[in-house]
């Protein structure tokens, strides 16, 4: 099973089953081959809990891809004049952003191993594996 964690049930991603955060309890632990989180973590207030739940859902050798907006880069972009007030507000509005450092800590604290990471513009992406 491959799931895409989203805050919008109408969002369809090819080859993934769309799942809302509150539906994760319906998925058996250790049953998911891949979890895709495209900017979803930014909207979830309790980061520790969601990372723990996601790690439990992954089967051994399963992967998780986490993409989000990097808080430090947005703040730096605003401070340096690269982002306008409106652009900065769009990044921050209704979200609880992580830094790449915080994201790495949550990944590592849940016994997941980062196999790739990327910074692009104001966003980060991590791919991690749950090894046995």
Average pLDDT over residues 13-41: 95
Query: Which tops the pLDDT comparison, 98 or 50?
Result: 50
| pLDDT at residue 8 greater than cutoff 90 | no
Confidence (pLDDT) at 9: 79
On the question of pLDDT at 126 being above 90, the answer is yes
Read off the pTM: 0.90
Mean pLDDT of the chain: 93
pLDDT at 39: 87
**Cβ atoms of 69 and 95 closer than 8 Å:** yes
Report pLDDT for 11.
82
Contact of 59 with 32, CB cutoff 8 Å: yes
Tens digit of pLDDT for each residue in 71-91?
A: 989 999 999 999 999 999 888
Among 2-6, 10-14, 99-103, 120-124, which is the least confidently predicted range?
A: 10-14
Give the domain ranges of the chain: 2-130
Q: Is 76 helix (H, G, I), strand (E, B) or coil?
A: helix
How does residue 26 score in pLDDT terms, banded at 50, 70 and 90? very high
The answer, yes or no, to whether residue 37 has pLDDT greater than 90, is yes
In what order do the strands lie in the sheet containing 2-5? 17-19, 2-5, 32-38, 58-69, 123-130, 113-120
Looking at domain 2-130, which CATH architecture does it have?
3-Layer(aba) Sandwich (3.40)
């Amino acid at each position: 099973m491959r799931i895409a964690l989203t805050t919008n049930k109408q969002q369809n991603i090819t080859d993934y089953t769309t799942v809302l955060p509150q539906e994760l309890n319906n998925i058996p632990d250790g049953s998911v081959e891949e979890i895709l989180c495209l900017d979803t973590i930014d909207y979830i207030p309790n980061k520790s809990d969601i990372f723990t739940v996601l790690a439990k859902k992954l089967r051994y050798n399963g992967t998780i891809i986490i993409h989000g907006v990097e808080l430090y880069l947005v703040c730096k972009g605003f401070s340096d004049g690269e982002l306008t007030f409106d652009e900065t507000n769009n990044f921050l509005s209704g979200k609880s952003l992580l830094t790449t450092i915080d994201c790495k800590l949550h990944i590592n604290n849940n016994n997941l191993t980062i196999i790739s990471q990327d910074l692009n513009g104001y966003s980060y992406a991590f791919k991690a594996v749950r090894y046995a």
